[in-house]
Amino acid sequence: MIQEQLQQLITKALDKVLPATDQSGLTDLSIDIETPNNPEHGDFSSNVALVLGGLLDQPPRQLAETIADNIPDTLLIKRVEVAGPGFINFYMSPIWLQEVLEQCLTAREQYGCSDYGAGQKVQVEFVSANPVGPIHIGNARGGPFGDALANLLAATGYDVQREYYVNDGPENTQLKLFGASVQARYLQELDIPAELPEDGYQADYVVELARQLVQQDGDAHTDVPTDDSGALYFFSLVKEWMVQRLHEDCAAMGIQFDRWFRETELYEQDAVRQEVDKLLQSGAAYQKDGAVWLGATEFGDDEDRVLVRRTGSPTYIASDLAYAVDKFVKRGFDKVIYVWGPDHAGYVARLQAALAAIGVQPGQAEFIIYQTVRFLEGGQPLALSKRRGNIITIQQIIDDIGRDATRFFFLMRSVDAHLDFDLDLARQHGEENPVYYVQYAHARICSIHHEATQRGFEILPLDEVDLSLLTHPDELTLLRKIADYPQLIQRAALDRAPHRLPHFAYELAQSFHQFYTTCRVLDADQPALSQARLKLVQGTQIVLQNLLGLLGLLGLLGITAPKEM
RNA sequence: GCGCCUGUAGCUCAGUGGAUGAGAGCACCGGACUUCGGAUCCGGGUGUCGGGGGUUCGAAUCCCUCCAGGCGCGCCA
């Protein structure tokens, strides 16, 4: 990308000006190439002299002059200026944008991709909702986010795997509660008196599960004891239905996991017990009050944590540790990104400490906590409570406003921010809805191509088209947008910030609409210009498609917007 | 009480330690179609970047503190 080329030019200049020792504190990051807010300050700008001046205790302005004077001549750059406290500003010659367009048209679906990750094995684990109910609006946000993040990492050269962790372990108390709820509903369905446990699952789908069970097995399970073993038994009866439902919900969101990892696998291999034993041997864990404790404070946690209860059954930390060993040691991931809901925020420090205890290096495990989503309808937030039973499933939302609009709205905001999901806005197919604004730009692009074919415009190969004819301000703005795309991908991946993509898609659509209004593409009187503009349109389409591909929104491009206004 | 996240225009939000310019969308008002899709475009104005202090040549951005909101803090997951 162009920023890298400029960085290399600066590096060359530095090599001529400064002894290598003076460059020791310099990293790629300190040679920052950015786009100035004020266009008068050039097309690109570098703060290298300001950073280096501070490091070497030299006047930045003077240093900047020296560096600027030694930047090798190239056709891409018209002139270099030093400004302000010591910025080096680059004024590009017009051909740089033509080169970018050529790169884009040549690379096509690879445009914007890089090998930055150098094939490192990264796992993104996300959603991982317990198999006790469908995906609902409280836990769905991690889905589109994790999926888009995985796409971004793959596009920047990482070897990415998507994983869903199914918490179906035999020691999971949530499952017992859920199983007991199913059991109670099952008995009620057969007119046998039974009470839903306190804090049990009240939602309607539990009643439906019970009904399904009666339909399948009749009264075959009435003699099952109403204790933990009975609860687990009932869970086992409905488990595959639940997992199947989770599969369907994720598929509905457009997510394909590479692996559904089941917690039971860890117990079948006796991995949980083995890990606890290892920790006891290494001294990282100890016995107290009949329980086994992890000495988590040694590894930065606030307090030590129980690994094995007094009853002898392991806690979730124990199985999460065994799971981590499976990820890092057995399967050899260089990095694992855990995407969790806000209710898990307090668990980060705990697992981090536990990971340190098994020798996972800091930075190998990343934790991304997404914030809550409020769904608004008529300006009022929808209330949801899993326990009280008035849950709203992600399937309902998708049925309502469509998969792509759902994903777009989820992805629009930073995961750090609380998200207001405006259902009324998402339902609209009008100008207020950013989804259709972007979609409309693509529809227009397709229409131009269609029209070109209809009118018999011959599409010339790239080397026969004079791109230097693209000089209109709106053409240049659009070209600049195409040029900015690779760095956007790079930074969004690095910052784990997929939300920048919908914003960029909107801006790209905006630049295109503006171009479309002022610059007629197909003009029989100006065939050479038409050819150049067709290339620009094609470049826009490539970027738009790549962008929406990363967001998992290619469906938007397949749907043709209505012809009626 | 402790921890995490947030606080930017009337509303919803972008914003990468940079420049005499802190930006979008929505909403509101006014304009633009004989020709590629008007679900479009153009113009119009709004800010103690929650308050205070600090670091820096330079802070919405980093640090401290206070205020406000959301979420979490179990031998539940």
Class of domain A122-166+256-369: alpha beta
A27 touches strand B (CB under 7 A): no
Provide the CA A495 to C1' B61 distance, Å, integer.
15
A330 touches strand B (CB under 7 A): no
- Which residues are within 8 A (CB) of A435 and not within 5 positions of it... i.e. 6 or more apart? A404, A405, A408, A409, A426, A556
A35 touches strand B (CB under 7 A): yes
List, as one string, the DSSP characters of A504-537.
Answer: HHHHHHHHHHHHHHHS-S--TT-HHHHHHHHHHH
Instruction: Name the protein residue, with chain letter, whose CA is nearest the C1' of B2.
Output: A302
Q: Which fold has domain A429-554?
A: Isoleucyl-tRNA Synthetase; Domain 1 (1.10.730)
A555 touches strand B (CB under 7 A): no
List the beta strands (DSSP E) in A43-199: 44-46, 77-83, 87-92, 121-125, 159-166
Instruction: Name the protein residue, with chain letter, whose CA is nearest the C1' of B33.
Output: A517
Nucleotide of closest approach to A349 (CA, C1')? B3
3-state secondary structure of A131: coil
Nucleotide of closest approach to A341 (CA, C1')? B71
Q: How many residues does chain A have?
A: 565
Nucleotide of closest approach to A533 (CA, C1')? B36
What residue ranges do the domains of chain A occupy? 2-92, 122-166+256-369, 173-252, 375-413+420-426, 429-554
- Do A534 and A457 form a contact (C-beta atoms < 8 A)? yes
pLDDT at A565: 26
Nucleotide of closest approach to A82 (CA, C1')? B19
Instruction: From residue A67, give the alpha-carbon distance in Å to each of A15, A57, A62, A552.
Output: 10, 16, 9, 44
Name the token pair of A269.
């291999």
Provide the CA A421 to C1' B69 distance, Å, integer.
18
Beta-bridge partners for A34: A45
CB atoms within 10 A of CB A343: 11
State which residues between 470 and 499 of chain A bring their CB within 7 Å of strand B: 491, 497, 499
A432 touches strand B (CB under 7 A): yes
Provide the CA A372 to C1' B39 distance, Å, integer.
31
pLDDT at A425: 83
Domain spanning A2-92: CATH superfamily: Arginyl tRNA synthetase N-terminal domain (3.30.1360.70)
A532 touches strand B (CB under 7 A): no
DSSP assignment letter at A362: B
Instruction: Name the protein residue, with chain letter, whose CA is nearest the C1' of B18.
Output: A47
A369 touches strand B (CB under 7 A): yes
pLDDT tens for chain A, 565 residues long, are 888 889 889 988 988 887 776 666 555 556 788 888 888 889 999 988 988 887 777 888 888 999 999 999 999 999 999 988 899 999 999 899 999 999 999 999 999 999 999 999 999 999 999 999 999 988 999 999 999 999 999 999 999 999 999 999 998 989 999 999 999 999 999 999 999 998 889 889 999 999 999 999 999 999 999 999 999 999 999 999 999 999 999 999 999 999 999 999 999 999 999 999 999 999 999 999 999 999 998 888 888 999 999 999 999 999 999 999 999 999 999 999 999 999 898 899 899 999 999 999 888 999 999 998 888 887 777 766 555 567 889 999 999 888 999 999 999 999 988 888 888 888 877 667 888 899 999 999 999 999 999 988 889 999 999 999 999 999 999 999 999 999 999 999 999 999 999 999 999 999 999 999 999 999 999 999 999 999 999 999 999 999 999 999 988 886 443 333 2
A85 touches strand B (CB under 7 A): yes
Strand B nucleotides, any atom under 7 Å from protein beta carbons: they are 2-7, 12-27, 35-42, 56-58, 69-77
Buried b (16+ CB within 10 A) or exposed e, A48-87: bbbbbbeebebebbebbebbbebbeeeebbeebebeeebb
Provide the CA A137 to C1' B8 distance, Å, integer.
28
A563 touches strand B (CB under 7 A): yes
pLDDT at A56: 78
Same fold, A122-166+256-369 and A429-554: no
State which residues between 141 and 200 of chain A bring their CB within 7 Å of strand B: 167, 171-174
pLDDT at A199: 84
A510 touches strand B (CB under 7 A): yes
Beta-bridge partners for A421: A375
pLDDT at A438: 92
Nucleotide of closest approach to A37 (CA, C1')? B21
A385 touches strand B (CB under 7 A): no
- Which residues are within 8 A (CB) of A533 and not within 5 positions of it... i.e. 6 or more apart? A470, A475, A519, A521
How far is Cα A467 from Cα A533, in angstroms, rounded to an integer? 8
pLDDT at A561: 39
A344 touches strand B (CB under 7 A): yes
A380 touches strand B (CB under 7 A): no
